[in-house]
Amino acid sequence: MMNINFKNVFGIPLIIFIVSWLLFLTWSCQNNQKLRILTRNTSNTQSIFKTGPGIHSSWLRQIHQHEQKIYSQNGEDGILLWIFANIGTVNYPPRFVEFGTENGDECNTRFLREQLGWQGLMMDGNYEIPGINLYKENVTSKNINELLAKYQTPSLLDLLSIDLDFDDYFVWKSILQANRFHARVVIIEYNYAIPPNENRVVDPNQDSRRWTGTMHFGAGILAMAALGRAYNYTLIYADKMGVNLFFIQTSILIDQNILHKVRSVEQIHVPKPIVYWNHPQERDETRRWIWNDTVWK
């Protein structure tokens, strides 16, 4: 009698409980492995992810909650940490290239480098500090691939950060076309003032002038998104200051089965940056834009 009672009352629920508990353990272990950021300083990695490790299936949707400034100009530090918390890294230690860093005090990779053991190359037109791998180079669309080779860049980086204030689009395009160096995540400056339905970018070959403080610089969000898309990168975010765009390799989104969660270019576009930039209109009407350089397909 006792036996039968026990079986009915506890037996089946107990088995269900144990099985689901084992399933849960397996699931959380897998997630932990995927999530783990490879770093020399694991004590730090833990403290960054306050919620504890685990891929957040809605991480793309939550990305806007993660802007946080540590050493970056604005909230880029927090966004990059959030992205890598959810897609991991492939190099050990993780590798980056960033150009347009000035002296490296305020840039997108300083936190990763100093606190998380990432390694990489920085380049800037005015600064050289070999101790932190920062080299004085004038990066152009013509020399960028040679420069990457010169500093022994691996063929697949975790992060590429581009901030040249003018021809960023063409330098990225040159890297993409050469097909020698790839990055899983790309952060690149754009021109917030160009409406998201206008596919245009500055003509960098018109003369030697670069950014003169006016609206005449960079590329619009649609031009950047179209360029990325042509090379299998997906635009996932634009920061609230209207300064940077974040791209990741489309294959990563497909692997995570979240490509359908990416918002449209129109939705990602920031119509009113939280800072009023007040860049004056370009008075020189001969300064040209190039339209539809990469057609959105």
Ligand X SMILES: *[C@@H]1O[C@H](CO)[C@@H](O)[C@H](O)[C@H]1NC(C)=O
* Binding stretches for ligand X (CB under 6 A): 41, 43-44, 125, 136-138, 199, 231-232, 291-292
26 vs 41 by CB, closer to ligand X: 41
Buried b (16+ CB within 10 A) or exposed e, 104-119: beebbbbbbbebbbbb
To ligand X, the closest distance from the beta carbon of 270 in angstroms equals 22
What is the C-alpha separation between 290 and 208, in angstroms, rounded? 16
Give me the least distance between CB of 125 and ligand X, in Å please. 6
What is the C-alpha to C-alpha distance for residues 39 and 30, in angstroms, rounded to an integer? Answer: 19
Nearer to ligand X, 162 or 226 (CB): 226
CB of 251 to ligand X, least distance (A): 7
d(CA 63, CA 35): 16
- Find all residues with CB under 8 Å of 172, minimum gap 6, and list them: 162, 186, 188, 227
Q: Which is nearer to ligand X, 106 or 198 (CB)?
A: 198
Name residues whose C-beta falls within 8 Å of residue 173's C-beta, 6 or more positions apart in sequence: 141, 227, 293, 294
The owner of tokens 């299998």 is: 232
The three-class DSSP label of residue 285 is coil
The first and second tokens of residue 37, run together, are 């950021």
Q: How far is the CB of 154 from ligand X (least distance, A)?
A: 18
The nearest distance, CB 40 to ligand X, in angstroms, is 6
Least distance to ligand X from the beta carbon of 260, Å?
16
- 208 CB burial (10 A radius; 0-12, 13-18, 19+): exposed
Q: Which is nearer to ligand X, 44 or 68 (CB)?
A: 44
* Nearer of residues 31 and 44 to ligand X, judged by Cβ: 44
Compare residues 109 and 199 and give the one whose CB is closer to ligand X. 199
Q: Residue 32, Cβ neighbours under 10 Å: how many? A: 13
